[in-house]
Structure 1
Amino acid sequence: MNQDERPLHASSFGSAAAGYAEHRPDYAPAAVDWALEPAAGVRVLDLGAGTGKLTASLVALGADVVAVEPDPAMLAELHRALPGVRAVRGSAEAIPLPDSSVDAVLAGNALHWFDMAVAGPEIARVLAPGGVLAGLWNLLDDRVEWVAGLAGAAGGAVVGPRDTPASWRAETAAAHLPRSGGAGRFGWPEQAEFPHGQLRTADSLVATLATRAGMLVMPEQRRAAALNRIRAYLTSNPATAQGEFTLPMLTGVLRVRRR
């Protein structure tokens, strides 16, 4: 997408906040562990926290979490799901936290939406020296035949450049890390992938894919047609036509340390 389209896509999720909370997957626990491994402490910022999918995983690990999210509808879902978590409105470009106040900044399916020219220095500001910045993405495992077929049926509006393992590795290697104003404060990036899965039915997988930004910004008629193509594929495929199945995924992690 071009720079004019990016804000529209980034701000689209609030219109589907309830569906996002219900249908989007969590993250592989091993991926969250790896993201946090170098952190010196347990103070973690979930940046662009959405409805709290990653926040919940961090809480389960015993982290002292603060969640920051710009969209009020998404934030309301997070408050509903995790009432005991400190969750505040803010953005990656204007983080409402003091200097050196967290040991790690994690972003679940959000790092690519940040304007790193502004967010990079902000993230460096709130991170303690030696702290960790990590982005996590859930990827469709297209090494599985029916998942590769789903990608073809869904089209680019649903399966984008960060949604399958090979394209994620190439697209993400350094593209979403701090550059101007922040690059000198961060070390060499690392990538890793961890097996994951989500129990779905044909209908619930269609509902999940309907919360993707590319779908949310489509005109209604085109969106309905695309979702119908996906449903037709799933209900005609032996692996997905009858009842529940596991959607094979990987959680990809991009990790870098603050100097």
Structure 2
Amino acid sequence: MYEAGRPEYPAEAVQWMLEPVSGGAGRRVRVADVGAGTGKLTRVVSAVGGDVVAVDPDAYMLAALRDAVRDVPTFIGTAESLPFQDAEFDAVVLGQAWHWVDPVTGSREIGRVLRDGGVLGLIWNLRDDSDAWARRLDAIMPEGKAQEMLAAGTPPVRAPFGESEERVWHWTRQLTRSEVGDMVRSRSFYITATPEQCAGIDGALDELLDDLGLDSDETIDLPYVTRAYRVVRR
């Protein structure tokens, strides 16, 4: 459900995050995808020219990643505790994950495994609530830690990093009725809810999709905004 429910990352956003360490033609940068989950970001990093390894604290997520993304080394770990030597990587990236990280400890540990001039890339796919139906969907899905952190300003990144740069991309994802359900049920608020709360969420979602006239074989456009940040190790 996580794999089906979560959107892909725009390739141009991932290229932008890695731009400070991209070399000449044919050079592939060495990248660690931390909090990799099932490999949504991992596969894009690989596609745009990164030699990538995947890190996650959940062995089941990494097993799903290995099924989806072949030939990528996987490691158990977190941003605060990485199983690598000093200065091993050109870049470390986190997708939908920095809001779970202690910024002081995580920045220090990621800085340890990056070479001088290496880059930390942070990226989130967020629903664009400028659309009326997306706002109705937001009313069903509680605001998460990512939205709370980004609403407060730039994601907090500490030493040994400098100032963050930010870019934003707007795009649209086509979803079937079942895919909308997968998206909702892949979120932590649903996974940790009681059976009664889940039933209430399911009922509200069915009511919304019925109001929109979305049948099982039709799709609907859900607007997204991707927010990406990059910050160079000093």
Q: Does 1:35 align with 2:17?
A: yes
Contact 1:202 1:231 survives alignment (8 Å): no
**Structure 2 residue aligned with 1:74:** 61
| Greater mean alpha carbon deviation, residues 195-204 or residues 22-31 | 195-204
For 1:205 and 1:171, locate their aligned partners in 2 and report how far apart those are by CA, in whole Å: 28
Deviation at 1:160, TM superposition (A): 2.8
Name stretches of at least 5 consecutive residues in structure 1 with no aligned partner.
1-18
1:170 and 2:151 are equivalent in the alignment: yes
Question: How many residues of Structure 1 are paired with residues of Structure 2 in the alignment?
Answer: 228
Aligned residue number for residue 220 of structure 1 = 195
CA drift at 1:224: 2.0
Work out the CA distance in 2 between the residues paired with 1:114 and 1:254.
Answer: 15
1:4-51 deviation per Cα after TM superposition (whole angstroms, max 9, x unaligned): xxxxxxxxxxxxxxx112221111112111111112451111011000
Could you tell me whether the CA contact under 8 Å between 1:202 and 1:235 is conserved in 2?
no
Show the counterpart of 1:255.
Answer: 230
Contact 1:161 1:171 in 2 (8 A): no
Which residue of structure 2 aligns with residue 119 of structure 1? 106
Q: Secondary structure at the match of 1:162?
A: helix
Shift of 1:74: 0.6
Q: Partner of 1:95 in structure 2?
A: 82
Q: Is the 8 A contact 1:47 1:91 kept in 2?
A: yes
Shift of 1:196: 2.8
* Pick aligned residue for 2:4 from 2, 10, 22: 22
Query: Helix, strand or coil: the match of 1:37?
Result: helix
State the Cα RMSD in Å. Answer: 1.8
Q: Structure 1 residue 227: deviation in Å?
A: 2.2
Q: Residue type of the partner of 1:126?
A: V
Quickly say closer, same or farther: Cα 1:168–1:250, change in 2 above 3 A.
farther
Identity %: 37
Equivalence map 1:46-61=2 (5 Å):
46-61=33-48
Shift of 1:96: 0.8
CA gap of 1:122–1:95, structure 2 versus 1, over 3 A, is same
Query: 1 CA distance for matches of 2:153 and 2:209?
Result: 29
Quick one: structure 1 residues 155 and 26, their matched pair in 2 at CA, closer, same or farther if it must change by over 3 Å? Answer: closer
The one-character-per-residue Cα deviations of 1:70-124 (angstroms, maximum 9, x if unpaired) are 1011111001111211111111111111111111111010111112232221100
Question: Residues of 2 paired with 1:25 and 1:245: CA distance?
Answer: 14
Unpaired runs of 5+ residues, structure 2, are: 24-28
Tell whether the 8 Å contact from 2:99 to 2:146 is kept in structure 1 after alignment.
no
Counterpart code for 2:91: A
Aligned match of 2:133: 146
SS, match of residue 26 in structure 1:
coil
1:141-174 per-residue CA deviation (whole Å, 9 max, x = no partner) reads 111121112212x141xx43534xxx66433513
Within 5 Å, which residues of 2 pair with 1:144-223? 144-152=131-139, 154-156=140-142, 159-160=143-144, 162-163=146-147, 169-175=150-156, 177-178=157-158, 183=159, 185-223=160-198
Paired position in structure 2 for 1:64: 51
Counterpart of 1:104, as a letter, is A
Structure 2 counterpart of 1:20, which letter? Y
* C-alpha distance in structure 2 between counterparts of 1:168 and 1:145, whole Å: 23
Give the structure-2-normalised TM-score.
0.91
Paired with 1:210 and 1:244, the residues of 2 have a C-alpha distance of 18
Mark the CA change 1:169 to 1:114 in structure 2 (over 3 Å): closer, same or farther: closer
Q: Is the 8 A contact 1:40 1:131 kept in 2?
A: no
Match of 2:228, SS state, is strand
Answer yes or no: is the 8 Å Cα contact 1:67–1:86 preserved in 2: yes
